[in-house]
Structure formats: structure tokens, C-alpha cells
Structure 1
Amino acid sequence: MKSYITDIQSIKKLIPHIQNLNFEYKSSKHQVNYYIENQKAISIRLPLSLAFDTNRNQIIDCEFLNYILIMIRSGIATVGYFENFENEKHIVFRAYMVRKKQGKSQIKHLKTKGKSRAGSRVRLQETLDFFEDISKRINEHFESHRIDRIGISCAETLIPYFYGTKSPLPFEKQDERIFKIPKHIQNPTYEALIDTNEFLKKGEVKFSPDGKDYLEQMNMNNDSESKKDQDDW
């Protein structure tokens, strides 16, 4: 499949031309899927500054939005609080979770070799403390601010630890404010946090061959900033 990243104005220009198509909105991806002959043909990931009214099939400008971005990998994580799309607070967490020789996290190692050695026990405790610190920081943001959206990028093997802390997170897995950050983040540093926020402030249009034909008929496929192959949409 093909896709391109584009700006807010281009998304606003595109939506009215495809509103006659059947659609569904996926809150977990902040994405609207449009169908041609019951087949998904066009998908639009909306910028964070746009909301979607499913009753009226319309996009709405967000006058003000508070959100947090949570990005976690083995041994490093970043939590950022954004007020009206600008980063107000952030913190980077680091922990001794990776076995140096194998380059494998202690969590993955536990599935095969257990935790008998002293180094393994240290890494396991570091892992637990790592997620407790993340949870406490998230709770601080929720206690101090109204949070409208929650963006998460977390490896599947770490999800049970993320939601299983002694200090419970201030939201459940099914919280409607949660959306998956649609970008692979290998190293969640502060720089990656800011780059990801800029990415989320833009939109993305994905299309099948039928969707491409439809867009070309509407002359809406000519102002993309970049195009790329997309295997999974």
C-alpha cells in the first residue's frame, strides 16, 4: 500500500471530497477509514489538532489539547506532557535491564533461563523500579492537569510490566483517550519525543489502488510531502 505524510490544511481540503464514502473512525489510531464497494480504500490518520465527529462525519479543530506521550523500550523510556501541542515537561528514564553480552533484556531472558544469578536479580529489580518510576511520573501529570489524549509506544513484551505496577496507572488499557503512536521508536530519547510530537501534528493518507484512483479523480493526490511503500495499514 502507498501512503504520504501531509499537513493539516491538506487534510482539511481532502476530507470534504470523500465524505460521501462509507467510513469508520478508529480512536485507538486516531484514524478514519473510508470504503469503496465494502473494501477499505482510503485511511486518514488525523493530526492531533483535529478531532473527528462520527455523528456528523466531520473533522473539528481542537482549540486546546493536553496530552502525554509515553515511549518505552528495554532500559530507556520517555514521558512527555504537552500543553496545546507544546512540550511543557519531560523526563527520560534509564535502567540496567539489558544483558550486555547477549544484548537481550532481562524480561526476555526470564522466559528461558530464569533468574537464579545475582546479576539477573539486579536487572529484574531495576526493571520493576523502572516501571514504578514511569507510573509515578504519569500519575503526577494526571494529578496536575486535565489529560485529553494518551499516546503510547511500548514493546509488547513490556506491556504487562507497564500496566502491572504497584502504583496503578491513572487509566485502564481500554481508555478511549489512548492511541498507539504510529511510528517505530527505537531509542526514546528527548529528541525522539520532540520528533514524534512533530510527526503527530501532521496527518497521513494511505490508499489502495482503488483509493488512489478515487483520489486522482478528485485531484487530491498531488500535494504530498513524501510518499512511501506501506505494508501494514
Structure 2
Amino acid sequence: MKRKELEITEINELLFELQNDSDIKLIFDNDKWRFTILKDNKKDYLRIPITTIYEENEVVPVSRHFVIALIETGHAALALCDEEEILNHKVFKSYMVRKKQGKSQLKYLKTKGKSRAGSRVRLANALEFFENINTRLNDYEDEYSIDIIALSCNKTILPFLYNSKVEPPFDKKDDRLYKIPKYVDTPGYEEMLETYEYLISGELFTESDNFILEV
């Protein structure tokens, strides 16, 4: 897959070219901040920054607060952001994995239970882990009106986020939820910074050998 990062001015220049090509079909998906570009059975995609909106045939910057939540077993990185900076961030780590087997305590519960002391410690840590995450997310929601929740979370642990004793400030069907469309490595400060830069940037990408247009 080929990718090219684009600034807002470059995005609008490309959109102008696309909109004036009668052989190209342009489809915008508002939920994904993404255009699908179709021509001659080829398909490209143009993702716009989540700090913009598409109106009157161009991409326009808007003032917007958003949360980044990167979560996997035992590791999480959270950030409260706007279009100019990261306003607040927090990294969480928790002992939740059985060292010999490398298996999450949450997964282990489905098989052999929690009778041993080590298992009980890992389970307690796991419950506290999600409570801490949701507490921080609620703090963000209380401090600012959050427009977008950019989330990357392993499907196997997602239920524990929603079923925590401390509930998150959103539900599964919240319109603000945005699944981060990229692979996220082990959540930490550097990964959070990279994700922030990714989300506030535009991107043209294709699965074919070449882009439909020269860029």
C-alpha cells in the first residue's frame, strides 16, 4: 500500500483537480473523514484531518477538542487534544499478564479461573487498570466538550472498558467514536505522539501500484 501525507492546502488542490475530472467519481464518508476516489476500476482513498470538515467542496479547519485513547492489555495512553496541541496526557501500565504463558489474566479467567494469589493480584490490577482509564476519560469530558473520541482498543478487552465499575463517558454507539485507521503499537508516550500527528494530518493512500492522479 502506498501512502502520501498531505497538508490542507494540498488536499484542497487535489480535490479541485478531482472534482473537475469527469472520469473520476468522488465519494465522501463523513464518519471516516475519508474520500473514496474511483476511476477505471481503480480505487484511492483521501483521508482528511479530524480537525477539519468538508463543506462547499473544500476542506476547512475547525476548532475541535478530541481524545486519543490507545488501549491494549496492560498498556494505555490517553490524551486530550485540540488542533494545535496536546493539552493533557497520561500513560497507564498494569501487571495483567502471566509471565510464563504470556496470557492476559482476563483471557485466563475463561479457562482456569482465579484461585491462585498471583491470579487474584493480576485480576485486581486489571479491574483497577480500566477504572483508572475511565476516570481520566471522565475528567477530560468534565473539563472540555469533547467532539471526537479517537479509539484504538483490542476487541477482546473492549467489554472490560465498558463494563468497568467506573463507566466511560461514552457508550458503544456514541457518534463521537472514531476507530483509528492505522496499526497502533504498544501504547506509550511516543506512540500517542505519533497518533496525534497522524490524526491532524491528511493522507492519500492506494492499494494499487500507482495513484490515480500524479501527486
Normalised TM-score (structure 2) = 0.87
Q: Pairwise mapping of residues 15-26 of structure 1 onto structure 2 (< 5 A)? A: 15-19=15-19, 21-26=25-30
1:32–1:95 distance in 2 versus 1, CA, 3 Å: same
1:85–1:178 distance in 2 versus 1, CA, 3 Å: farther
Cα distance in 1 for partners of 2:18, 2:39 equals 10
Per-residue CA deviation, residues 187-208 of structure 1 (Å, 9 max, x unaligned), is: 2111221121112222221235
- The one-letter amino acid paired with 2:59 is I
Contact 1:150 1:178 in 2 (8 A): yes
Q: Pairwise mapping of residues 213-224 of structure 1 onto structure 2 (< 5 A)? A: 214-215=212-213, 219=214, 221=215
Q: Pairwise mapping of residues 81-100 of structure 1 onto structure 2 (< 5 A)? A: 81-100=80-99
**Shift in Å at residue 137 of structure 1?**
0.7
Tell me, which stretches of 5 or more residues in structure 1 are unaligned?
222-233
1:108–1:5 distance in 2 versus 1, CA, 3 Å: farther
Does residue 35 in structure 1 map to residue 38 in structure 2?
Answer: yes
Cα distance in 2 for partners of 1:148, 1:40 equals 34
Task: Tell me which residue corresponds to 2:51.
Answer: 49
1:5–1:139 distance in 2 versus 1, CA, 3 Å: same
Q: Pairwise mapping of residues 69-80 of structure 1 onto structure 2 (< 5 A)? A: 69-80=68-79
Structure 2 counterpart SS, 1:157: coil
Structure 2 counterpart SS, 1:69: strand
Task: Tell me which residue corresponds to 2:141.
Answer: 142
Cα distance in 2 for partners of 1:6, 1:91 equals 29
Cα distance in 2 for partners of 1:190, 1:80 equals 9
Does residue 105 in structure 1 map to residue 111 in structure 2?
Answer: no
Cα distance in 1 for partners of 2:83, 2:201 equals 15
- The one-letter amino acid paired with 2:101 is Q
Per-residue CA deviation, residues 203-226 of structure 1 (Å, 9 max, x unaligned), is: 2212354983x31xxx3x2xxxxx
Normalised TM-score (structure 1) = 0.81
Total equivalences in the alignment: 211
Task: Tell me which residue corresponds to 1:229.
Answer: none
Task: Tell me which residue corresponds to 2:7.
Answer: 7
1:7–1:189 distance in 2 versus 1, CA, 3 Å: same
Identity rate, percent: 38
Structure 2 counterpart SS, 1:156: coil
Task: Tell me which residue corresponds to 1:195.
Answer: 194
**Shift in Å at residue 70 of structure 1?**
0.4
Cα distance in 1 for partners of 2:175, 2:15 equals 23
Does residue 155 in structure 1 map to residue 154 in structure 2?
Answer: yes
Does residue 205 in structure 1 map to residue 204 in structure 2?
Answer: yes
**Shift in Å at residue 18 of structure 1?**
1.9
Per-residue CA deviation, residues 65-85 of structure 1 (Å, 9 max, x unaligned), is: 111100111111111111333
Tell me, which stretches of 5 or more residues in structure 2 are unaligned?
none
Cα distance in 2 for partners of 1:113, 1:210 equals 49
- The one-letter amino acid paired with 2:64 is L
